[in-house]
A and B are shown apart, each in its own frame.
Chain A
Amino acid sequence: MSDIFCSLRQLSVTYGHGAAALDRIDLDIAAGERLAIVGESGSGKSTFARALADLLPERAKVGGEMLWPALGHPPRPGRDFGFIFQDPGSSLNPVLTIGEQIAEGARRHLGLNWKQAYARAEELLGRVRMPQPDKVMRAFPHQLSGGQRQRVAIAAAIAAKPQLLIADEATSALDVVVQAEIVRLLDGLVREDGMTLLFITHDIALASGFVDRIAVFRDARLVEAGPVRSVLSAPQSDYTAELIASHRDLRTPPLIAKAAS
């Protein structure tokens, strides 16, 4: 069977005197799996992603254990894991060219010189299906659309061939059409490279389309976790059932029909 990539025991995060942002989470992440963390605002899903990536603010107090059996040590940013943020507008440095931003990770972690790193960056732009990669290498973030910027962010995140990719609401700021493309891209890349994917989202349907397992968070607690099909067809918790019932797609009967007109 697959090894455990990351094991969380009673993971908790609190800020000062306030309520817990994460409350005793017990969860295992298998190597090579695609796990979705689904929750609404305030559920703790982003805190979870940032706790794993050691991106919490200084004043956060972390309790419990984070074990990394496959790596043997806490993951190094860039080298062992890549992180994709929600807002592609602010996650890229506005004064550096796209090429520089992607190449930096390759250069630093793979020991390449700048020329090799740039070559790799252009190759990565091709992998993330960016049109005209050579032009984009010299472009700046503000010249690209939101979807394009997110592709760049993905390229930068996988530049050093990390084993884990964390996507923190990576599609939430994009429109549905671009969202679907980015999800397809992520799915493809992760399969090709055998990466473990942690996909944080508020959209249970979006996650259900491509992940293996799903973990539902609510109010800083882990409500339910399991293979995506089982959780969706037979949810153990009422909350999960509510999330599923609130989902609205084109097959859901419209509200307007209920209005007598």
Chain B
Amino acid sequence: MSDVLLSIDNLSKGFSSSGRRVAALENVSLTIAAGETLGIVGASGSGKSTLSRILLRLLAADAGAIRFEGEDWLALSGAALRRKRAQMQMVFQDPLAAFNPLATVGAVLDDPLRIHEVVPRHRRTGEIAMLLERVGLSADYAGRPVRSLSGGQRQRVAIARAIATRPSLLVLDEAVSALDVTVRGRILELLVELQREQGIACLFISHDLAVVRAVSHRIAVIDNGRIVETGPATSVVVAPQSDAARALVAAVPRLVTDPF
């Protein structure tokens, strides 16, 4: 079977709020195998964002361990951490806020290529063109300022930036929540295609079970900082075991089309 790419063991994180200690994450454990997509679904405040930020080393955990590609991920720091980051990339929720307001598309894609020396300098422009085409944008987008793009186009650029370093794990934190419905489906299809082609594992985080269901092999349900249910996507959706999962299933809006 596929090897375990990422394993999170008993991760905990608490915040102090008006004197009291609030647990954002409590003994969270999960694993992702190479090439699979794990969906993490939960209501707002359930801890999903805290989890993604700790995973991306933007926030420190209080306790617990994370093993990524066989190494102790939390022990890395400085230049070693920066180098290893090439293997784990992220797509953020807000396509507007995720880019330097002054940047052009080409500069945004050049950064990771340059920092990790993915290709020799003279081949970078070609690589940028290839990345843009891979995410469905034409190569002449490279000269345009990111601000001039639509939400869906920006998210494509964000995905292109994330796969530029050929990561083994892609974390998507509410990556399609801010997009129009018609655009959403196309971005989800793009993600699934990329995974099939390049074997990237994905951690897909969202509060929308329908979207998570569409792209995940397995789903983990998080509620109040704890993982309350894990299983194959179909099982969780068809036969939810936990209250949180049942609430999420019930909350998905359904088209009511039968005429009276």
Contacts and interface: CB of A to CB of B under 8 A. Distances in A.
A98 interface: no
B259 A230 contact: yes
Interface in B195-227: 195-196, 207-211, 213-217
A254 interface: yes
A146 interface: yes
Contact of A255 (B189, B208, B249, B253): B189
A243 interface: yes
Given A40-B180, A176-B248, A205 B188 contact: no
B75 interface: no
Given A174-B44, A248-B184, A256 B214 contact: yes
Interface string B147-162: 0000100000000000
B79 interface: no
A192 interface: no
A178 B254 contact: no
B154 to A, nearest CB: 12
B224 to A, nearest CB: 13
Interface string B227-260: 0000001000100000000011111111111111
Label chain B's interface by main secondary structure. Answer: helix
Interface string B5-36: 00000000000000000000000000000010
Contacts of B256: 205, 208-209, 228-229, 232
A42 B233 CA distance: 34
Contact of A176 (B188, B189, B215, B252): B252
Contacts of B44: 145-146, 174-175, 178
B213 A244 contact: no
Given A176-B209, A243-B181, A255-B214, A204 B255 contact: yes
A90 interface: no
Contacts of B253: 176, 179-180, 203, 205-206, 208-209, 249
A249 B181 contact: no
A242 interface: yes
Interface residues on B, range: 35 or more
Contact of A205 (B207, B217, B254): B254
Contact of B210 (A178, A250, A258): A250
A256 B259 contact: no
A17 interface: no
Interface in B38-56: 43-45
A229 B210 contact: no
A252 B208 contact: no
A249 B252 contact: yes
Contacts of A259: 192-193, 195-196
A230 B256 CA distance: 10
A211 B185 CA distance: 25
A42 to B, nearest CB: 9
B186 to A, nearest CB: 9
Nearest to B190: A255
A39 to B, nearest CB: 9
Given A175-B207, A252-B214, A254-B214, A244 B37 contact: no
Contacts of A107: none
5 nearest A-B residue pairs (beta carbon): A175-B207, A205-B253, A40-B180, A206-B253, A259-B196
Interface of B: 35, 37, 43-45, 151, 180-182, 184-185, 188-189, 192-193, 195-196, 207-211, 213-217, 233, 237, 247-260
